Amino acid sequence: MKGMSHELINFVILFLLIPIFFLFSIQGHNTIYFSFGWVIGTLYLSPDLDADYSRPLNRIGNLKYLFWFTRHRGTLHNPVFWGCLFLILAFLGHAWMGAGLFGAALVHIMADK
Ligand SMILES: [Zn+2]
């Protein structure tokens, strides 16, 4: 799937999730924190950092060299990687942001299938 479609799908799902969070009385700052993680996970820290010339890879500038070792649809397209990242962030007290990152990555990975 093309990068632009991934971003569109992710943003549509985020806009559907926000009213659901509101319905379940999730506190506003948690919703904002989750959305922040989701947007970062869509535009910057996306599973497509492993693809040459992907949009997120172009956005992160020279940080892209951190991902030189990843092969496309490898580790970064594995939900377990994002689950571990979520657990680490949750351990550090950023569970909502981690959930946003995790959710955005899961939507991306499912859309790739
Ligand atoms: Zn992908």
Ligand 1 center–CA 112 separation, angstroms = 6
Ligand 1 center–CA 61 separation, angstroms = 19
Q: Which residues, by Cβ under 5 Å, contact ligand 1, an ion? A: 47-48, 112
- Average of per-residue pLDDT across 13-38: 96
Confidence of residue 1 (pLDDT cuts 50, 70, 90): confident
Write down the pTM of the prediction.
Answer: 0.91
The percentage of residues in the chain with a pLDDT greater than 70, rounded to a whole number, is 100
Does position 27 have pLDDT exceeding 80, yes or no?
yes
Ligand 1 center–CA 63 separation, angstroms = 18
Exposure on the CB side of residue 87, measured as CA atoms within 13 A: 6
pLDDT digits (tens, 9 = 90+) for 37-91: 999 999 999 999 988 878 999 999 889 888 888 888 889 999 999 999 999 999 9
Ligand 1 center–CA 23 separation, angstroms = 31
Please report the pLDDT score of residue 113 as a whole number: 86
Please report the pLDDT score of residue 44 as a whole number: 95
Short-list 78, 7, 17, CA closest to 39: 7
Are the C-beta atoms of residues 35 and 14 closer than 8 Å to each other? Answer: yes
Residue the block writes with tokens 């020279």 = 62
Ligand 1 center–CA 25 separation, angstroms = 33
Ligand 1 center–CA 31 separation, angstroms = 25
